[in-house]
Amino acid sequence: MTTRTEDHAPTAGTVLTGAGVGRRVAVGPVVQVRPAPVVPGDAPVVRDGRPVPADEVPDAVTAAFADVAAALREQAGRATGTVAEVLGATAMMADDPSLKDKVLAEVREGEPAVAALDAAVATFAAMFEQAGGYLAERVTDLRSVRDRVVARLTGTPAPGVPELREPSVVVARDLAPADTAALDLERVLALVTEEGGPTGHTAIIAGQNGIPCVVRTTGATALAEGVDVAVDAAHGTVTVDPAADVREAMAARAAAEEALESDTAPGGTADGHRVQLLANIGTAEDAERLVDAPVEGVGLFRTEVLFLGRQHAPTVDEQTTAYARVLRALGPGRKVVVRTLDAGADKPLAFANLHPEENPALGVRGYRLVRSAPQLLADQLTALARAGEETGTQPWVMAPMIATPAESRAFAEAVRGAGLRTAGVMVEVPAAALRAAAVLDEVDFVSLGTNDLAQYTMAADRLRGELVDLLDAWQPAVLELVAATARGGAAKDKPVGVCGESASDPLMALVLTGLGVTSLSMSPSALPAVRFALRRHTLDQCRAMADAALAAADPAAGRAAVADLLDADARAALGV
């Protein structure tokens, strides 16, 4: 076996490495998503195959942007969940007058349309990358808009994913939301990208759908079309033309994963210590797919899909309808934790009157929107209260980006003032973790968002793939803050959940349980393995694993120390 080190097409037995998302495996033929064709900057603008007169080019540019935005909105209407959310936001990007006006200004000065568009996109992409956070992730979407506008202007084929004629491993430099929306997920065995990161759009879609995924895989785009590869998300590897023994091992892993799904009992350790196992959702459709699923409720309902990609905030009635669908789908016997709007300067909202910020990840986002747009929260709480009355199911409501006990108190007062009973906050900011007991004096529960907690603890943008080592959930410093939060919960006898993707790692789930976390929320596809891991270990064993992870020098050593403490049968079944 060799490891990929050169730029030519990888040969049989070569192992490409990247960052794995999830823990599943797949073997199948490669289908490459090729980049959009290069169109020269001076390419003529055409209509019906004929060049457009110079004085009509500005109108053609305006029409191209409008057509792309309309097509993206149409795709969003057919999609569900996060795909619909991000497509809507991408449509809004195509509608953004600042981008279009910059292009038109250059065109009216005599610059060719494609060159003007390329220059404008390059400027905005640099701004987004410098801003970091959510905007950095949107650079792929911005370039996708560019490619589609160029195709409209020049009469060239629009970029996209090729038709999948058989179950395949889809490989790309990166996938834009419009690409993902076009995938026939029934025929996608795995996703492999050369760029992106473990918390980016492609990774999220893979996790939600239980698709093996490896991102930041150097050499992936050099893979030959049609060659078989073995994708191992748990270990972050892609093996080219795998030998028979590798294929057999992958088949055994896949069979073991399927066997884990037969256990549908509530979550808990081997000695009966209860740990609620919950699902993360983004839309009412996601909730309705959980009606018959072995899940104890929803630990994170991301409400952004109702807000992003719109020129005006959704009305109270619109929100009430959506929230009621979620509560009705889960029923009165299952908990539903709703996160209020997590948006702001780094997730542009046309109706929030926000100004550009030099560092949006540290700016007006999440709960901090009450400083500039308080009616957004007031309307959302009103809608949630009405939905609760309509369905007879009271949601738990939590705010993102809380930093102080005072903010926690203000949010709890707003929640209860709206007629809702259970108020909580997200612990994503180290200050909130360090003052967890004081925060819990004000609210009924907390939920740890480990992705942002790692970002703020390690001072590393979680969407910068090259910093993935700093953002590892196994970083001892991050685990120390989780432990501090759990101690606060124990002292106040109040629930402490985790709704970040770290909860979907079976080994990390054991550590979190040992630290004192009382519920774990994740993509539904990750639940069987986590349920199995908990069932095979006692609470004392989980505590020993937590101690081992906290004492480790670095993430790799922490994970290895926990793996050494695994039950032998669990190690085999989980492929550790």
Q: Is 428 marked within a binding site?
A: yes
User: Which residues, in sequence order, are CB contacts of 28 under 8 Å at separation 6+?
Assistant: 167, 168, 169, 189, 190, 228, 229
Cα atoms in the Cβ-side hemisphere of radius 13 Å centred on 226:
1
* Alpha-carbon distances, residue 90 vs 86, 175, 310, 433 (angstroms): 6, 13, 11, 34
Q: Is 195 marked within a binding site?
A: no
Q: What residue type is 131 in one-letter code?
A: A
Give the C-alpha separation, 319 to 321, whole Å: 5
Stretch (H or E) spanning 143: helix 139-154
Q: Is 451 marked within a binding site?
A: yes
> Do residues 344 and 366 lie in contact, with contact meaning Cβ atoms separated by under 8 Å?
yes
- What does DSSP say about strands 228-232 and 25-33: parallel, antiparallel, or unpaired? antiparallel
| Sign of torsion over alpha carbons 285, 289, 295, 297 | positive
H and E: helices and strands count for the chain: 22, 19
User: Which residues, in sequence order, are CB contacts of 198 under 8 Å at separation 6+?
Assistant: 19, 20, 21, 215, 465, 468, 471, 501
> Do residues 497 and 520 lie in contact, with contact meaning Cβ atoms separated by under 8 Å?
yes
> Do residues 202 and 174 lie in contact, with contact meaning Cβ atoms separated by under 8 Å?
yes
- Tokens describing residue 107: 């065109």
Give the C-alpha separation, 229 to 30, whole Å: 7
> Do residues 439 and 432 lie in contact, with contact meaning Cβ atoms separated by under 8 Å?
yes
201 is known as an active-site residue: yes
User: Which residues, in sequence order, are CB contacts of 64 under 8 Å at separation 6+?
Assistant: 149, 152, 153
| Sign of torsion over alpha carbons 65, 68, 72, 78 | positive
- Tokens describing residue 216: 């930041």
Stretch (H or E) spanning 299: strand 297-302
Q: What residue type is 353 in one-letter code?
A: N
Cα atoms in the Cβ-side hemisphere of radius 13 Å centred on 548:
21
Give the C-alpha separation, 349 to 94, whole Å: 14
Q: Is 452 marked within a binding site?
A: yes
| Sign of torsion over alpha carbons 389, 282, 440, 413 | negative
499 is known as an active-site residue: yes
Which of 8, 273, 499, 542 does the annotation list as catalytic?
499
> Do residues 472 and 494 lie in contact, with contact meaning Cβ atoms separated by under 8 Å?
no
Give the C-alpha separation, 453 to 574, whole Å: 27
Closest CA to 505 of 545, 540, 544: 545
Which of 201, 213, 537, 542 does the annotation list as catalytic?
201
Q: Annotated binding site for phosphoenolpyruvate: which residue ranges? A: 302, 339, 451-452, 462
Q: Annotated binding site for Mg(2+): which residue ranges? A: 428, 452
Q: Annotated binding site: which residue ranges? A: 302, 339, 428, 451-452, 462
Give the residue numbers annotated as catalytic, written as ranges.
Answer: 201, 499
